[in-house]
Amino acid sequence: MNPLNLTERFTAAFGAPPQLIVRSPGRVNLIGEHTDYNDGWVFPAALDMGTVIAARRREDGQLRSVAARLGEEDAAPLTDLRPREEPGWTRYIRGVAALLLADGQPLSGADLLIDGDLPLGSGLSSSASLELGVATALLGLAGVAIERTALARLGQRVENEIVGLQSGIMDQLAVAGGVAGHALLIDCRSYAVRPVALPASVRVLVLDSAAPRTLAGSAYNQRRAECESAVGKLQAARPEIRALRDVDAALLAAEGWRLDPVELRRARHVVSENQRVLDSVAALEAGDVARFGALMVASHRSLRDDYAVSGPELDALVAIALDTPGVLGARLTGAGFGGCAVALAAAADAEAAAAAITARYRAATGRDGRVYVSAAADGVAIWENRAT
């Protein structure tokens, strides 16, 4: 990810050069899906694709934004942002500014030019990348530093309070805390983050199905409600249970009769997925990449069968990947309902595998899918700063 000639384009749009440029990565989750809002464990990595934002301070209290990839603009005074009333991408930008102001941050007005190379709406956390990038830019213009967990919580609040998506904090923590060459074992209850080095012998493939998904309009919130209902019923047996993170396979086997069939399947996925995350990290640290790949496959089956968040394109993409030489494992990534899958491949075979998967998927589905050979990157940061 690079600045994408933002300085010149910003100057053309706003009449003066930017004072700072922020780079904010997307994220891919290697394993641990729909566990974050159940207080569980996840294992994402920040991507070398993401969002870039050029910014300049304004003294008139106006927040002006240009979304280069969409060819759209937005403007509003900081005193009247009304983010919940706005459609689409503007809700995220106005929402970040509104919550920062509500928290007492001394924001000025700003001009923002937003661009990037992250596939939009594909399950790679384009919204978290935008949220944290905008927050870092606005705070940078104000000369304010913020701790990374607090920055992640701010992004999650935008999703929960402004957009209406009851998501967990995985995406934002991965974008905020990414470490180059590492994935992150995240405890979504304590927010503890432990970087785990990715072996040099493997590469991460991001498989874009080109099947669109709209998360807030999907069954995402319904899945969360089903999990919460399961917790409520299991608390009759174990009052100390706070989330499905507190349930293990033995307890679910003994007390699962309390749940209806749908709740039981949802709980079974979360309980087994939490264990798969921990087992996967142990396998990776032991150098057993074949075991890691097998756990990715088990995760996809659980997401498909118990959590019901896959679909024909994602299933086809995963099956094609698993039938490709050099691929060790594959699964859907992100919330599902379309979007992307992720695969782990031997480094020597990664480029050839990416080309083969792309060609076979397009032939099988007619969709213009694409496979990226990606590297784990650092988290959101100010790339260039002339504001001080």
Concatenate the DSSP letters of all residues of 68-120 into one string.
Answer: TTTTEEEEEEGGG--GGG--HHHHHHHHHHHHHHHTT----EEEEEEEE-SPT
Write the CA distances from 255 to 114, 236, 237, 251, 299, integer angstroms. 50, 10, 7, 6, 23
Q: Please tell me the predicted confidence (pLDDT) of residue 337.
A: 87
User: Taking Cα atoms as reference points, which of 45, 80, 78, 58 lies closest to residue 14?
Assistant: 58
The residues near 209 (Cβ < 8 Å, ≥ 6 apart) are 122, 313, 314, 317, 338, 339, 340, 341, 361, 365, 367, 369
For residues 19-33, average pLDDT = 97
Measured from the Cβ of residue 229, the count of other Cβ atoms closer than 10 Å reads 16
Tokens (6 digits) for 187: 């405890």
Provide the pLDDT confidence category of residue 218 given band limits of 50, 70 and 90: low
The residues near 383 (Cβ < 8 Å, ≥ 6 apart) are 3, 21, 22, 23, 52
For residues 246-257, average pLDDT = 98
Q: Please tell me the predicted confidence (pLDDT) of residue 1.
A: 53
Walk me through the domains of the chain, giving residue ranges and CATH numbers: 6-195+377-385 (3.30.230.10), 198-374 (3.30.70.890)
φ/ψ of residue 92, rounded to 5: -70, -45
Provide the pLDDT confidence category of residue 221 given band limits of 50, 70 and 90: confident
Give the tens place of pLDDT for each residue, 198-208. 999 999 999 99
- pLDDT exceeds cutoff 70 at 39: yes
Give the tens place of pLDDT for each residue, 81-135. 999 987 789 999 999 999 999 999 999 999 999 999 988 777 788 999 999 999 9
- pLDDT exceeds cutoff 80 at 361: yes
Write the CA distances from 366 to 210, 322, 359, 361, integer angstroms. 10, 19, 10, 8
For residues 37-59, average pLDDT = 97
The set of catalytic residues is: 171
Q: 321 with 289: CB under 8 angstroms?
A: no
| Separation CA 117–CA 119 (nearest Å) | 6
Q: Please tell me the predicted confidence (pLDDT) of residue 335.
A: 87
In the chain, % helix, strand, coil (3-state, to 5) comes to 45, 25, 30
Q: 188 with 148: CB under 8 angstroms?
A: no
Q: 350 with 327: CB under 8 angstroms?
A: no
Tokens (6 digits) for 110: 């700003």
Q: Please tell me the predicted confidence (pLDDT) of residue 168.
A: 86
| Separation CA 262–CA 5 (nearest Å) | 50
- pLDDT exceeds cutoff 90 at 377: yes
Residue type, 156: Q
Q: 273 with 299: CB under 8 angstroms?
A: yes
| Separation CA 263–CA 187 (nearest Å) | 23
Q: Please tell me the predicted confidence (pLDDT) of residue 387.
A: 67
| Separation CA 340–CA 325 (nearest Å) | 20
132: part of which helix (H) or strand (E)?
helix 126-142
Write the CA distances from 240 to 191, 192, 214, 274, integer angstroms. 20, 22, 35, 19
Q: Please tell me the predicted confidence (pLDDT) of residue 216.
A: 45
Q: 119 with 126: CB under 8 angstroms?
A: yes
pTM of the complete model: 0.93
| Separation CA 282–CA 285 (nearest Å) | 5
For residues 139-145, average pLDDT = 96
Give the tens place of pLDDT for each residue, 295-343. 999 999 999 999 999 999 999 999 999 999 999 999 999 888 888 999 9
Q: Please tell me the predicted confidence (pLDDT) of residue 388.
A: 59
Residue-averaged pLDDT of the chain? 94
DSSP 265-288: HHHHHHHHHHHHHHHHHHHHHTT-
